[in-house]
Structure 1
């Protein structure tokens, strides 16, 4: 059993559980790569995701290039508060790390520490879940690790993500 892989089985007709907040959703945009890199760098403990802004920028460029899989533009999103990037979720069509895992895969969720506790992270994950469910996907998965905050783990648990066992197939 992979202890760092979580999967959420999606019902055929998922009822959207929209989260209200003082933020605006936008799609991922290469024109905001610098904002994404800054938020990404601030969103993780020092040295976990990137050692500096240049490395964070390269991570965002790699994401847009498809180095971590083909981005799902419909399920990926950014959240903005008062014109400032507050967080992002990046979803790919399938995991490049798990050959037997079918379906969309969340490669990143990060939020600006200044907006934590305001529902931004939960709203971003809920957006991805709702979008994937509406598209007919059977499941959405993610990996967690050293940089995953307790708040993010709480979001995943509350939304129903569970450890993937070796007997599950297709998502």
Structure 2
């Protein structure tokens, strides 16, 4: 599937909110969560503190997926250190999964980090969820960094992955 990745504008925010929450719900990541769905749906705030990117159908401009790209010290940065970039909240519309949308978003984040001269890109994935996402990251060269694994809430274990851009 051919997709175009571009910066999200305010006209995209409702679609991004809808598909992000739907993707996280479909993967079971919002079961028992209190409030994270609201954070995922607040695309305007994410856009104020990072770069929200969307993958769109090049013919219809329909939003198929999104991701938030951030730098260390910004509101949504969790793992990145000096000289590193990070992406968060990568989501693909459940109807578009398996078509290369997630890969296009990851590649766009890596290209953006490379263009900014970053030494690495960080991401965290929830342990026990999104095995396909973990495979996607591993195929692109991301490796586990167990020392950076963390848990924001009891029962929510996040695994750190890093892609070295200096090699």
- Give the TM-score, by structure 1 length: 0.68
Pick aligned residue for 2:120 from 139, 148, 153: 139
3-state secondary structure, aligned to 2:102: helix
Matched, 1:62 2:42: no
Aligned pairs, number: 139
Q: RCO higher in 1 or 2 (8 Å CA, sep ≥ 6)? A: 1
Q: Counterpart in 2 of 1:6? A: none
- What does residue range 34-73 of structure 1 map to in structure 2 within 5 Å? 34-45=14-25, 48-49=29-30, 55=38, 58-66=41-49, 71=50, 73=51
Equivalent pair of 1:48/1:147 in contact (CA under 8 Å): no
Where do 5+ consecutive residues of structure 2 fail to align? 149-163
- Give the TM-score, by structure 2 length: 0.69
Instruction: Report Cα offsets for 1:116-151 as digits up to 9, x if no partner.
Output: 111010011011112211321100101111585122
3-state secondary structure, aligned to 2:25: coil
Distance 1:163 1:30, change over 3 A: same
Instruction: Give the strand-richer structure, 1 or 2.
Output: 2
Q: Counterpart in 1 of 2:159? A: none
CA distance in 1 between partners of 2:34 and 2:128 (Å): 13
CA distance in 1 between partners of 2:93 and 2:115 (Å): 28
Where do 5+ consecutive residues of structure 1 fail to align? 1-20
Pick aligned residue for 2:88 from 85, 102, 107: 107
Q: Counterpart in 1 of 2:99? A: 118
CA RMSD in angstroms, aligned pairs only: 2.9
Instruction: Report Cα offsets for 1:50-71 as digits up to 9, x if no partner.
Output: 789x8367432331242xxxx1
- State the 4+ residue runs in structure 1 displaced beyond 6 angstroms: none
